[in-house]
């Protein structure tokens, strides 16, 4: 049995689905089910006896302690987080509460449970904390990619809150001996991505005939990681990672945002042409850059490759085609997540 927090969100749901696709070890999913934690992401598991979904907050220490005591998981994988930079700029309080205070309460509940385990189970237990490359700050164009030894230099309320949570996890290992692992990933993309992030927003807006917003000059560079590759990396770190260590997870796909926009437009031109025959790139609209926008992220994932033998299975070309096809084939999912709150948010952010 494993406990997955934030397991109804984008990366967490992909992890739960992939976990149960490759083995039969049961999963307890704990998710607050806010706007980005969508129960529909796990709809295919509705009648699967291997999966239990519990609505709740990682900050609810009593609830977490009860789940741990009842289900006796051998591992906790923590995806639960507020994770959108733009939202953190407009309202940082939720990010402080979930990513810092919530992580603290989760760690304390897990520490209490772990401390009471028998020696064999205690030695086998793992707490895996999923984090982001944004904690490292920004890179200049010619700087080497982030390694695990880079200084932590977050530049947004979101990345600062995630950096704080990383520090808490490290401290609970060194102070209390909690057997932790941390992963810091690059930009994920793929199925079930809430359409406020770049790639799903491009797909949804293109098909709706809406503008495709590009911040500033569109030359912000990110390393793009297909979400299912990220899930396989987490499984590998959980299986064989060295306690207390951090592992960077990247896709070796550095792309400027504007290149991403043009790639998605070209794929849609091929797979779902506009009725008027015009290219989707005609919908590109440049908007004012966001405050403190990091110019470049890039992940050096060689430690994960050399120690644990992990490499991404997808190139950007194969992964982005799979992603666009998934959104085209799952229009009902897209329609259901586009609530009034989501539409108001997009209008506010990109006006």
Q: What is the model's pLDDT at position 348?
A: 72
Catalytic residue positions, numbered? 133-134, 158
**Mean of the per-residue pLDDT values of the chain:** 94
Backbone angles phi, psi at 155, to 5 degrees: -120, 0
- Is 342:195 a contact under the CB 8 Å cutoff? yes
Q: What is the model's pLDDT at position 346?
A: 55
Q: What is the model's pLDDT at position 279?
A: 98
pLDDT at 4 over 80: yes
Q: What is the pTM of this model?
A: 0.93
Q: What is the model's pLDDT at position 306?
A: 98
Give the Cα separation of 6 and 197 in Å (integer): 17
Q: Taking phi first (over 0 means left), then psi (-120 to 50 degrees means alpha), and beta for anything else, what does residue 217 get? A: alpha
Q: What is the model's pLDDT at position 343?
A: 54
Contacts of 143 (CB under 8 A, 6+ apart): 296, 298
pLDDT confidence tier of residue 347, bands split at 50, 70 and 90: low
Domain 2-192+225-250+292-313 -> CATH class: alpha beta
pLDDT at 349 over 70: no
Q: Which helix (H) or strand (E) holds 227?
A: helix 227-240
Beta strands in the chain (DSSP E): 2-5, 27-31, 51-55, 75-78, 126-132, 180-185, 187-189, 212-215, 221-226, 246-249, 254-256, 284-287
Contacts of 205 (CB under 8 A, 6+ apart): 211, 212, 213, 283
pLDDT at 84 over 80: no
- Is 289:215 a contact under the CB 8 Å cutoff? yes
Q: What is the model's pLDDT at position 340?
A: 56
Written as one string, the DSSP assignment of 95-123 is: HIIIIIIIHHHHHHHHHHHHHTS-HHHHH
Domain ranges of the chain: 2-192+225-250+292-313
Looking up tokens 């992909």 gives 14
Q: What is the pLDDT of residues 126-151, one digit of tens each?
A: 999 999 999 999 999 899 999 999 99
Contacts of 222 (CB under 8 A, 6+ apart): 186, 187, 254, 255, 257, 296, 297
Please report how many Cα atoms fall inside a 13 Å half-sphere around the Cα of residue 25, on the Cβ side: 15
Q: What is the pLDDT of residues 101-126, one digit of tens each?
A: 999 999 999 999 999 999 999 999 99
Closest among 146, 193, 145 to 319, alpha carbons compared: 193
pLDDT at 284 over 60: yes
Q: What is the model's pLDDT at position 87?
A: 85
Q: What is the pLDDT of residues 147-205, one digit of tens each?
A: 999 999 999 999 999 999 999 999 999 999 999 999 999 999 999 998 888 999 999 99
With a pLDDT cut of 90, the percent of the chain lying above it is 85
Q: How far is CA 91 from the centre of its chain?
A: 19
Mean pLDDT of 229-241: 98
Q: Please calculate the CA angle 100-103-109 and round it to the nearest 5 degrees.
A: 145
Length of the chain: 351
């Amino acid at each position: 049995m494993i406990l997955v927090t934030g397991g109804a969100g984008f990366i967490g749901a992909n992890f739960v689905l992939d976990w149960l696709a490759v083995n039969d070890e049961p999963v307890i999913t704990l998710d607050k089910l806010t706007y980005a934690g969508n129960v529909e992401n796990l709809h295919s598991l509705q009648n699967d006896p291997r999966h239990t979904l519990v609505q709740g907050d990682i900050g609810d220490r009593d609830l977490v302690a009860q789940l741990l005591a009842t289900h006796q998981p051998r591992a906790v994988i923590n995806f639960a987080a507020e994770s959108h930079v733009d939202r953190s700029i407009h309202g940082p309080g939720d990010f402080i509460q979930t990513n810092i205070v919530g992580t603290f309460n989760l760690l304390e509940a897990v520490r209490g449970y772990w401390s009471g385990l028998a020696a064999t189970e205690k030695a086998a237990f793992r707490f895996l904390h999923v984090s982001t490359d944004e904690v490292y700050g920004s890179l200049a164009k010619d700087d080497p990619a982030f390694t695990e030894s880079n200084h932590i230099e977050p530049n947004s309320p979101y990345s600062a809150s995630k950096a704080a949570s990383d520090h808490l996890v490290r401290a609970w290992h060194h102070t209390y001996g909690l057997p932790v692992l941390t992963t810091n990933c690059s930009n994920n993309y793929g199925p079930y991505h809430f359409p406020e992030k770049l790639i799903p927003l491009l797909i949804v807006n293109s098909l709706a005939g809406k503008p495709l917003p590009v911040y500033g000059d569109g030359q912000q560079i990110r390393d793009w990681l297909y979400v299912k590759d990220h899930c396989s990396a987490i499984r590998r770190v959980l299986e064989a990672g060295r306690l207390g260590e951090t592992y960077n997870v990247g896709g070796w796909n550095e792309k400027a945002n504007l290149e991403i926009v043009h790639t998605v437009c070209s794929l849609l031109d091929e797979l779902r042409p506009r009725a008027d025959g015009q290219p989707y790139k005609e919908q590109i609209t440049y908007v004012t850059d966001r405050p403190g926008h990091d110019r470049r992220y890039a992940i050096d994932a060689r430690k994960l490759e050399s120690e644990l033998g992990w490499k991404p299975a997808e190139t950007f070309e194969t992964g982005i085609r799979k992603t666009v096809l998934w959104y085209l084939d799952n229009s009902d999912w897209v329609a259901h997540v586009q609530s009034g709150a989501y539409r108001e948010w997009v209008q506010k952010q990109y006006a």
